[in-house]
Amino acid sequence: MKCKLSDICDFRKGKVEVANLNTKSYISTENMLSNKSGITDASSLPTVSLTQEYKSGDVLVSNIRPYFKKIWQARYDGGCSNDVLVFVPKSNTDSNFLYYVLADDDFFTYSMATSKGTKMPRGDKTSIMQYAVPMVDFYTQKKIASVLKSLDEKIELNNAINENLAA
């Protein structure tokens, strides 16, 4: 059985003062890495006084050129550009499960299919929230996310070992 993405999460609406951010806690499409590879430190902070906030556990997705598959699950609080969508799980949703729903290639394909613009396609927020997701109880969500997170952590560890050996 399926439900809509809007049934399991919302967009975060809050703002944060840029003065309280640094190059590690500020996320923009430039410092999000393609192919679900996470983030790097930002090269600079925006010149505005307020920007979109995110909280630990939120899922951040670049909304420009969705085919780059830029996604990151926040490990701390911070702020991001308006070109980054911040998904916050509802009380019936495990944050790790939400991350894996959004990290699925089908989500990025859907986002591209419903995007607006050709040179710099931008995901349509209304359409994105209509994306069909599996309706799974909270306990099953935790089990699914636990297995996938364990695999991701092993991959991350192996990549770190490989980098260390290469050095």
The CATH number of whichever domain residue 143 belongs to comes to 3.90.220.20
- What's the structural domain count of the chain? 1
Q: So what's the pLDDT on residue 6?
A: 97
Q: Name the residue range of residue 156's domain.
A: 2-166
Sorting pLDDT into bands at 50, 70 and 90, what band is 167?
Answer: confident
Sorting pLDDT into bands at 50, 70 and 90, what band is 160?
Answer: confident
Sorting pLDDT into bands at 50, 70 and 90, what band is 14?
Answer: very high
Characterize the bridge pairing of strands 59-62 and 50-54: unpaired
User: 156: part of which helix (H) or strand (E)?
Assistant: helix 138-166
Q: So what's the pLDDT on residue 117?
A: 85
- Give the mean pLDDT of 130-154: 94
Please state the pTM of the whole predicted model: 0.91
Gyration radius of the chain's alpha carbons = 16
Six token digits for residue 61: 């997705």
In eight-state DSSP terms, residue 94 is: -
